[in-house]
Amino acid sequence: MSKQIVYRNSGNKSYKDIKSREEPIPDIDGHEVLIKIKAVTLNYRDLVIADGSYPGPVKANYVPCSDGAGEVIKVGSSVQNVKVGDRVVIPFYPTNFYGVSKNVGNGTGAVVDGVLQQYKTVLGESVVKIPDDTHLSYGEAASLVCTGVTAWNSLYGAIRFTAGQSVLLLGTGGVSITTLVLARAAGAVTIITSSSDEKLKYVKEKYGVDYTINYKTHPDWEKEVLRLTKGEGVDFVIENGGAGTIAKSIASIKRGGQIAIVGFLAQPTEMPNVTSLVLSKSCSIRGISVGSKQQMEELVQFVHVKKLHMPVEKEFDFSDDQVQAAFQYLGSGAHVGKVIINVD
Ligand SMILES: NC(=O)c1ccc[n+]([C@@H]2O[C@H](COP(=O)([O-])OP(=O)(O)OC[C@H]3O[C@@H](n4cnc5c(N)ncnc54)[C@H](OP(=O)(O)O)[C@@H]3O)[C@@H](O)[C@H]2O)c1
């Protein structure tokens, strides 16, 4: 066994440029481990990297996708934190062990080759072990890498969430539903928005969100948030929209609350005066760049002891047609939660 299937994007115009090829299985050095990738989860980021519109650096001919979980099959002589046979997740930033990443450009699946391949070498010290008696599937574990740590960092990275507080989630994609699962398990009152009543009904039934708002039929959805919170606003907003939703998110926040700036899904109509809006709410606004290995370890521990399931909603196989279908499906916006590719 010396060859593997690797997907690379050589065109950078569309996910349709992502093609498979055969490549050697790499060797490891003393500090590395070789991981047999079992599952990969997709992120909105993977779509915009693929079509060339990602705001960060991307190397030519990169291997896509940041979120992978797998089994350790070789261990370098200096690696002590994992052994052959362990299930592990591969961190988004290979060298961000704690605190804020000093090198935002080196997220996996852009400048650093990603996980859409059968085998990957990584720095042994960077991986996080999933407990042996885990209830998580490999797909669920993979979803912890970017989405999970982003959600955890948004709730616990600065002003820490406490039970009984309220959290507003924009849209029903991976970040929102994962944060919903974590926040509910920690005792939050949760509000979610969506463009679709059908999705809202589903999320209420399956994930038990407290309140739902359709942002299409309620274009002034911040007023609904204020109505639901008796005029006070919410303690946390997980801001997926960016410049197009920030004014409404600030209007939705409680005085002294915290907004985690996560995404850029909504195009701005006009740029609001963010400084004066923030002043008027005495709120905090914090940019999130996924998070650290330390946060991943906290997240794995929480999900493990609380036996939480991550929102894997749609699964695809590791073949050319299925990989294309997975990206197409994510891009269609039909999904709720996470889309995964089972590699093995
Ligand atoms: N900063 C970070 O570290 C970090 C980490 C992860 C993700 N992100 C970013 O966070 C965002 C969400 O990522 P994701 O992976 O969760 O995406 P996703 O799974 O593709 O979810 C996108 C969902 O957001 C909703 N949406 C789309 N446009 C919207 C709008 N204008 N207002 C409100 N909701 C809207 C839609 O839900 P409905 O169909 O229900 O309306 C859509 O299905 C992306 O911009 C991504 O790049 C950032």
Residue 260 pLDDT exceeds 80: yes
Ligand 1 center from residue 337 Cα (angstroms): 10
Residue with tokens 């699964």: 315
Give start-end residues of each CATH 3.90.180.10 domain in the chain: 3-149+290-342
Closest-CA residue, ligand 1 atom 1, reads 262
Ligand 1 center from residue 263 Cα (angstroms): 6
Which ligand 1 atom is nearest residue 291's CA? 3
Tell me the percentage of the chain whose pLDDT exceeds 90.
91
Q: Establish whether residue 199 lines the binding site of ligand 1, counting it when its CB lies within 6 angstroms of any ligand atom.
A: yes
pLDDT tens per residue, range 187-233: 999 999 999 999 999 999 999 999 999 999 999 999 999 999 999 99
**Cβ neighbours of residue 79 under 8 Å, at least 6 residues apart?**
30, 31, 32, 33, 124, 125
Tell me the percentage of the chain whose pLDDT exceeds 70.
100
Give start-end residues of each CATH 3.40.50.720 domain in the chain: 150-287
Ligand 1 center from residue 44 Cα (angstroms): 7
Q: Which of 52-61, 76-85, 126-135 has the lowest mean pLDDT?
A: 52-61
Closest-CA residue, ligand 1 atom 11, reads 263
Q: Establish whether residue 264 lines the binding site of ligand 1, counting it when its CB lies within 6 angstroms of any ligand atom.
A: yes
pLDDT value at residue 1:
66
Q: Establish whether residue 150 lines the binding site of ligand 1, counting it when its CB lies within 6 angstroms of any ligand atom.
A: yes
Closest-CA residue, ligand 1 atom 28, reads 265
Indicate yes or no: pTM above 0.75.
yes
Q: Which fold has domain 150-287?
A: Rossmann fold (3.40.50)
pLDDT tens per residue, range 141-198: 999 999 999 999 999 999 999 999 999 999 999 999 999 999 999 999 999 999 999 9
**223 φ, ψ (degrees, to nearest 5):** -70, -35
Which ligand 1 atom is nearest residue 242's CA? 45
Architecture of domain 3-149+290-342: Alpha-Beta Complex (3.90)
**323 φ, ψ (degrees, to nearest 5):** -65, -45
205 beta partners: none
What CA–CA distance (Å, rounded) separates 315 from 3?
25
Structure tokens given for 154: 């948004």
- From 93, 153, 175, 222, mutation site for ligand 1 pocket: most ligand atoms within 8 A of C-beta: 175
Q: Establish whether residue 192 lines the binding site of ligand 1, counting it when its CB lies within 6 angstroms of any ligand atom.
A: no
Q: Establish whether residue 260 lines the binding site of ligand 1, counting it when its CB lies within 6 angstroms of any ligand atom.
A: no
pLDDT tens per residue, range 5-45: 999 998 878 999 999 999 999 999 999 999 999 999 999 99
The pairing of strands 119-123 and 32-41 is antiparallel
